[in-house]
């Protein structure tokens, strides 16, 4: 999984520091939004020919890692 995560880059000078795919101008959130709207991996790859299947895998791995933090309730 760590090799996949190297595809996700964070650069304060690109897309306001939002996590991107391979320093391209497409963010992790963009791809997650497309997937959650029901778009298939295949159609995303057709619409964005500069992306690779491993990029989508990396987005999902990154998102899974980000949400795997305990939530501490406010007192």
Instruction: Provide the residue range defining the domain that includes 34.
Output: 2-67
**C-alpha 7: how far from chain center:** 9
Which tokens in the block code for residue 65? 């890692």
What total number of domains does the chain contain? 1
- Tell me the CATH number at 40: 1.10.10.10
On whether the CB atoms of residues 24 and 15 are closer than 8 A, the answer is no
Residue 72 lies in a domain: no
Residue 58 domain-assigned (yes or no): yes
| Least confident segment among 11-15, 43-47, 71-75 | 71-75
The answer to whether 7 touches 21, Cβ cutoff 8 Å, is yes
Q: What is the pLDDT of residues 41-71, one digit of tens each?
A: 999 999 999 999 999 999 999 999 998 877 7
3-state secondary structure of 8: strand
Predicted model pTM:
0.86
């Amino acid at each position: 999984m760590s090799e996949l995560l190297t595809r996700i880059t964070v650069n304060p000078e690109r897309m306001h520091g939002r996590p991107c795919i391979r320093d391209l101008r497409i963010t992790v959130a963009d791809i997650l939004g497309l997937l959650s709207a029901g778009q298939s991996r295949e159609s995303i790859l057709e619409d964005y020919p500069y992306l690779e299947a491993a990029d989508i895998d990396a987005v999902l791995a990154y998102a899974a890692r980000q949400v795997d933090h305990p939530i501490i309730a406010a007192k």
